[in-house]
């Protein structure tokens, strides 16, 4: 997930032209179910079952596929577009919700394997490695809201118990196949991380899997499909729900975030991927922004990175070994030779440049001629079929990819003389994955993510085999499986206690220099299942979000609850933080919590904004109990920090009314106005103003503009010009297509 709006370094002339009579409505992008049919879900006022009967009676050509009355009141409808359009103005239809596109949160894929043991590299993370306990999630229901699931996969069919397809509206949530569109595998990978039980084991291999297909071809879906899938999961009685999906809206009150909070009220532990828009701040997207969500960032486990070193030039060349080749564990010096120029490759490393033709034949020849390893460069992203060919060849030598720049450098130097390279290994400590989205959240200024879990080089199930993927999508199901394990171990614990135990016992992640990484990067830290189960202290929500301070002197208090889970009384005390200009902490020096009891403790922060620079302030408070230490991350905002003032902007043709365009935008705080200026995408010559809005609501704003009110046509470079309450202007860029 990438944030769609990027700050520009220039401003244009501000036009005062406005498009009149902008009508604020809700919308949804219909999901085709047949060639001539569309499927959509509408929100209704009153009893959905009563409205279902009304539509069946007076609009028999429209099929009411399902009703929803748990997380929202609505109907799933199927029919021809012109017939569906006739009922959208019925008095009981509250709205057709915004078309906020949801996507899977995966960074990179490798290749399909028939057996998990085909992965030969040392840096692969197996989900079961996270669970070092004797518990396996037995008897716990995990709901996976995603792209569906290959319920015939041998590692999943044992635990698969059912679900629902919100794309095709049937009881078989199978992944999208090639015949249906762009195929998907994401949901199967996510489900395997949580609860695979076969050749590969998930974190909770004896938990039950329920799958809900909310994202269709290519891994895309709408907010209403996501909410409806969540509702189906709640009705099926799932105890843990995983959402490895998201959008660009960094706000807490988007409909999906509200649905997460509502699901939590129904007793469901909802785990959400934090997003893949890092390392920029303010990039966590809905529904990970929900107050009740356990939002998960991605951790990159420690690894060994092989590289080549040329002593005379001191050049380091990082290697990316292919996962299906032998491990790159070469220890001595080797000469590198170019495959196209050298006949004698015995005992040498072969260098191959990918051209338009496949490289399989060249690699095979190098292997047959005695090369000890092969490195490939000049990789073309749109031509990677050769990878499958190499995998099928089952070569018994190490094969690695290097950058095009490094490949050209080697090629040039080995033409001039014989060059020998040392083989070295660099140990990389575990850290936050660079793509992992960061907090905080706008409007309520919450600290997110709550926790981090492994999200890099994760091996799991996919249709037809196994694959290794990266993303917060992979981190989230580790936590969903962990919750199932803890529920089995501690059946009397509430979700609040489980969440508290996970955060209380998380391991802080430090930089290579030994500094603790920022809370908005890691939340409480890396999840530790065994420690969470064994803890004798639970701090309920130890992540301290003090909000935004805008007054000269302001004082705020957060009450934390400390629960003693042991059989003896425990004494606690805070380490007094170092004095900082503009900050003053008031913490209890010492307090006692009796065995099996809990106590509410005030944590008070006093801020003088005149002595602070604008921006994000964060750090850690330390609570001690004997020799045990508990770290409480905190965050607050001084005045106006540099977060986006408009998010999630979309502008597209209304699928139900081709004579109008639909727009939406999320506004995190009051603004005077927002306008969209159009520029020629090549010359950047100003073409005019598309629209200007005043009196926008804080939160999501949707509406429509009639095509007759738009005089421009074509593809434009759009500038979103926002005038803040203090009169300042900020600009963002987007793409505008006017058909």
Distances, alpha carbon 721 to alpha carbons 5, 19, 673, 690, 693, in Å: 12, 15, 8, 11, 10
646 or 517: which leads in pLDDT:
517
- The predicted structure's pLDDT at residue 105: 65
CATH number for the domain spanning 66: value is: 3.30.70
Q: Using an 8 Å Cβ cutoff, are 351 and 362 in contact?
A: no
Can you tell me whether residue 143 is helix, strand or coil? strand
- Percentage of residues in the chain having pLDDT higher than 70: 89
**pLDDT at residue 381 above 90?**
no
- The predicted structure's pLDDT at residue 175: 96
pLDDT band at 8; cut points 50, 70, 90:
very low
Q: How far apart are CA 133 and CA 538, in angstroms?
A: 19
CATH number for the domain spanning 308: value is: 3.50.30.30
Question: Does any domain span residue 162?
Answer: yes
pLDDT band at 708; cut points 50, 70, 90:
confident
**pLDDT at residue 9 above 50?**
no
Question: Does any domain span residue 326?
Answer: yes
- Do 294 and 311 sit in the same domain of this protein? no
- 212 beta partners: 145, 164
pLDDT band at 597; cut points 50, 70, 90:
very high
> Last residue of a domain, which of 391, 406, 428?
428
- 539 beta partners: 562
Rounded to 5 degrees, φ, ψ at 263 are: -65, -35
How many residues can be counted in the chain?
739
Question: Does any domain span residue 476?
Answer: yes
65 or 407: which leads in pLDDT:
407
**pLDDT at residue 151 above 90?**
yes
Question: Does any domain span residue 521?
Answer: no
- Do 690 and 619 sit in the same domain of this protein? no
Q: Which position among 33, 51, 136, 146 bears the catalytic label?
A: 146
Identify the DSSP state of 103: E
- The predicted structure's pLDDT at residue 391: 73
pLDDT mean over 264-269: 97
pLDDT mean over 529-554: 92
**pLDDT at residue 682 above 70?**
no
Phi-psi region of 184 (alpha: psi -120 to 50; beta: other; left: phi over 0): beta
232 or 722: which leads in pLDDT:
232
**pLDDT at residue 415 above 90?**
no
- Do 191 and 239 sit in the same domain of this protein? yes
**pLDDT at residue 3 above 60?**
no
- Do 19 and 46 sit in the same domain of this protein? no
Rounded to 5 degrees, φ, ψ at 260 are: -60, -45
Q: Which position among 51, 97, 153, 186 bears the catalytic label?
A: 186
Quickly count: other Cβ atoms within 10 Å of residue 718's Cβ. Answer: 20
Q: How far apart are CA 344 and CA 350, in angstroms?
A: 10
- The predicted structure's pLDDT at residue 65: 79
Listed range (480-484, 545-549, 618-622) with the worst mean pLDDT: 545-549
Closest alpha carbon to 330 in 309, 313, 314, 316: 309
CATH number for the domain spanning 263: value is: 3.40.50.200
When divided into structural domains, the chain yields a total of 5
Question: Does any domain span residue 689?
Answer: yes
**pLDDT at residue 599 above 90?**
yes
Q: How far apart are CA 45 and CA 42, in angstroms?
A: 10
- Do 272 and 138 sit in the same domain of this protein? yes
**pLDDT at residue 274 above 70?**
yes
> Last residue of a domain, which of 96, 129, 148?
96
- Do 421 and 461 sit in the same domain of this protein? no
Phi-psi region of 109 (alpha: psi -120 to 50; beta: other; left: phi over 0): beta
Q: How many CA atoms lie within 13 A of 97 on its CB side?
A: 23
Does the annotation count 170 as an active-site position?
no
- The predicted structure's pLDDT at residue 383: 54
pLDDT mean over 506-531: 95
> Last residue of a domain, which of 49, 71, 96?
96
- Do 259 and 319 sit in the same domain of this protein? no
State which of 305-319, 467-481, 697-711 shows the largest mean pLDDT.
467-481
- Do 318 and 188 sit in the same domain of this protein? no
How far is C-alpha 559 from the chain's CA centre? 30
- Do 283 and 342 sit in the same domain of this protein? no
DSSP string, 516-543: BPPHHHHTT-B--HHHHHH-SEEEES--
- Percentage of residues in the chain having pLDDT higher than 90: 46
Q: How far apart are CA 205 and CA 482, in angstroms?
A: 11
Q: 583-606 as b/e, with b when 16 or more CB fall inside 10 Å?
A: bebebeeeeebeeeebeebebebe
Global model pTM greater than 0.85: no
Does the annotation count 186 as an active-site position?
yes
- Do 68 and 91 sit in the same domain of this protein? yes
pLDDT band at 384; cut points 50, 70, 90:
low
Question: Does any domain span residue 201?
Answer: yes
- Expressed as residue numbers, the domain containing 232 is 103-301+432-489
Q: How far apart are CA 226 and CA 245, in angstroms?
A: 9
Question: Does any domain span residue 279?
Answer: yes
- Do 144 and 268 sit in the same domain of this protein? yes
Q: Using an 8 Å Cβ cutoff, are 324 and 114 in contact?
A: no
Whole-angstrom Cα Rg for the chain: 28
Does the annotation count 146 as an active-site position?
yes
- Do 220 and 281 sit in the same domain of this protein? yes
Q: Which position among 257, 473, 476, 660 bears the catalytic label?
A: 473
- The predicted structure's pLDDT at residue 318: 87
pLDDT digits (tens, 9 = 90+) for 193-243: 999 999 999 999 999 999 999 999 988 887 778 988 999 999 999 999 999
Question: Does any domain span residue 511?
Answer: no
pLDDT digits (tens, 9 = 90+) for 102-116: 677 665 444 566 777
CATH number for the domain spanning 732: value is: 2.60.40.10
């Amino acid at each position: 997930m990438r944030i769609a709006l990027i700050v520009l370094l220039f401003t244009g002339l501000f036009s005062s032209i406005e498009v009149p009579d902008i009508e604020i409505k809700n919308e949804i992008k219909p999901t085709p179910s047949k060639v001539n049919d569309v499927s959509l879900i509408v929100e209704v006022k009153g009893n959905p079952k009563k409205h279902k009967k009304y539509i069946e009676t007076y609009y028999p050509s429209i099929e009411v596929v399902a009703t929803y009355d748990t997380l929202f009141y609505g109907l799933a409808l199927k029919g021809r577009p012109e017939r569906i359009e006739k009922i959208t103005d019925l008095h009981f239809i509250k709205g057709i919700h915004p078309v906020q596109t949801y996507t899977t949160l995966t960074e990179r894929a490798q290749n399909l394997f028939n057996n998990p043991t085909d992965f030969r590299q040392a840096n692969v993370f197996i989900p079961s490695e996270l669970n070092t306990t004797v518990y396996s999630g037995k008897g716990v229901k995990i709901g996976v809201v995603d792209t569906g699931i290959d319920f015939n996969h041998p590692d999943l069919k044992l635990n698969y118990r059912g679900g629902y397809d919100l794309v095709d509206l049937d009881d078989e949530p199978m992944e999208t196949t090639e015949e249906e569109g762009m195929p998907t595998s994401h949901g199967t990978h996510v489900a395997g991380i949580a609860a695979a039980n076969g050749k590969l084991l998930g974190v909770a291999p004896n938990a039950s899997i329920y799958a809900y297909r909310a994202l269709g071809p290519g891994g895309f879906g709408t907010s209403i499909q996501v909410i409806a899938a969540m509702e189906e999961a709640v009705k099926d009685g799932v105890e843990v729900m995983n959402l490895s999906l998201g959008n660009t809206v960094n706000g807490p009150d988007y409909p999906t975030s509200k649905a997460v909070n509502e699901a939590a009220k129904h007793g469901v532990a909802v785990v959400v991927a934090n997003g893949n828009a890092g390392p920029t701040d303010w990039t966590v997207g809905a529904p990970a922004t929900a107050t009740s969500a356990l939002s998960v960032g991605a951790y990159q486990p420690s690894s060994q990175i092989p590289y080549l070193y040329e002593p005379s030039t001191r050049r380091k060349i990082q290697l990316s070994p292919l996962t299906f080749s032998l491990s790159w564990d070469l220890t001595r010096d080797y000469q590198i030779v170019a495959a196209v120029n050298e006949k004698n490759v015995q005992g040498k490393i072969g260098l191959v440049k990918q051209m338009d033709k496949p490289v399989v034949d060249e690699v095979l020849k190098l292997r047959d001629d005695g090369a000890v390893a092969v490195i490939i460069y000049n990789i073309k992203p749109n031509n990677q079929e050769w990878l499958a060919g190499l995998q099928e060849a089952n070569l018994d030598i190490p094969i690695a990819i290097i950058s095009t720049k490094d490949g050209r450098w080697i090629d040039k130097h080995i033409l001039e003389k014989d060059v020998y390279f040392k083989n070295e290994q660099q140990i990389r400590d575990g850290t936050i994955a660079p793509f992992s989205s960061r907090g905080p959240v706008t409007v309520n200024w919450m600290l997110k993510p709550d926790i981090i879990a492994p999200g890099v080089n994760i091996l799991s199930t996919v249709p037809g085999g196994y694959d290794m993927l990266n993303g917060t999508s992979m981190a989230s199901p580790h936590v969903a499986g962990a919750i199932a394990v803890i529920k089995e171990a501690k059946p009397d614990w509430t979700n609040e206690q489980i969440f508290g135990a996970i955060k209380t016992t998380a391991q802080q992640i430090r930089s290579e220099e030994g500094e603790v990484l920022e809370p908005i990067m890691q939340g409480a830290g890396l999840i530790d299942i065994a420690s969470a189960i064994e803890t004798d202290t639970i701090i309920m929500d130890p992540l301290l979000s003090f909000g935004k301070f805008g007054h000269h002197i302001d004082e705020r208090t957060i009450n934390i609850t400390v629960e003693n889970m042991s059989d003896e009384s425990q004494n606690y005390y805070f380490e007094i933080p170092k004095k900082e200009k503009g900050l003053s902490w008031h913490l209890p020096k010492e307090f006692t919590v009796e065995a099996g009891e809990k106590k509410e403790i005030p944590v008070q922060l006093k801020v003088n904004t005149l002595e602070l620079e604008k921006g994000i302030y964060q750090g850690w408070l330390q609570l001690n109990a004997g020799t045990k230490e508990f770290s409480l991350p905190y965050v607050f905002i001084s005045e106006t920090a540099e977060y986006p003032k408009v998010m999630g902007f979309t502008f597209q043709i209304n699928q139900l009314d081709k004579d109008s365009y639909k727009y939406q935008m999320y506004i995190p705080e009051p603004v005077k106005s927002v306008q969209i200026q159009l520029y020629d995408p090549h010359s950047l010559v100003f073409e005019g103003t598309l629209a200007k809005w005043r009196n926008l609501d804080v939160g999501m704003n949707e509406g429509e503009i009639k095509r007759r009110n738009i005089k421009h046509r074509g593809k434009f470079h759009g500038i979103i010009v926002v005038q803040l309450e203090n009169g300042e202007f900020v600009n963002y860029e987007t793409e505008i297509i006017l058909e």
